[in-house]
Amino acid sequence: MIVIASDHAAYPLKVSLLKYFDKNKINYLDLGTNSLESVDYPDYGIKLGKAVMSGKYEYGIAMCGTGIGISIAANKVKGVRAALVTNEKTAALAKEHNNANVIAFGGRTTTLKEAIKIIKAFNKAKYDPRHQKRIDKITNYEAEK
């Protein structure tokens, strides 16, 4: 199961993705927002990051206008490795090299067709453990705080 959250700027894309998930029987938890009313992306990025770190979800999808702000916010949660992805290649590399547990993209910069391709590429990719020492450095730094 995946967890998904967006701010108001990405709400229309999120609604379209949820319809796609329902049609394709993809299990998800939607953490909001649930309208076009202005909200603050950090609230949703942090909420999503905490959900991912609960261990109940395979990964998270975070969206705001560009994906930048919500990915920064999600990365403030210890253990989250949120990657801003812009296409299939960056999505695959986020998993293969960084073992990302959150992918982020922009509701104003990503079409539904592109978002679906990004998600499929991320799902298909496999983490390459030869990169583990780099991830360990991040994890160790987080532990120092």
Reported pTM: 0.96
pLDDT value at residue 32: 95
- Ordered structural domains, the chain, with CATH: 2-144 (3.40.1400.10)
Q: Which strands sit side by side in the sheet containing 102-106, from one edge to the other?
A: 28-30, 2-6, 59-64, 102-106, 82-84
Name residues whose C-beta falls within 8 Å of residue 99's C-beta, 6 or more positions apart in sequence: 81, 127, 131, 135
The pLDDT tens digits of the residues spanning 88-139 come to 999 999 999 999 999 999 999 999 999 999 999 999 999 999 999 999 999 9
The pLDDT tens digits of the residues spanning 39-96 come to 999 999 999 999 999 999 999 999 999 999 999 999 999 999 999 999 999 999 999 9
Q: Which residue numbers are catalytic?
A: 64, 97
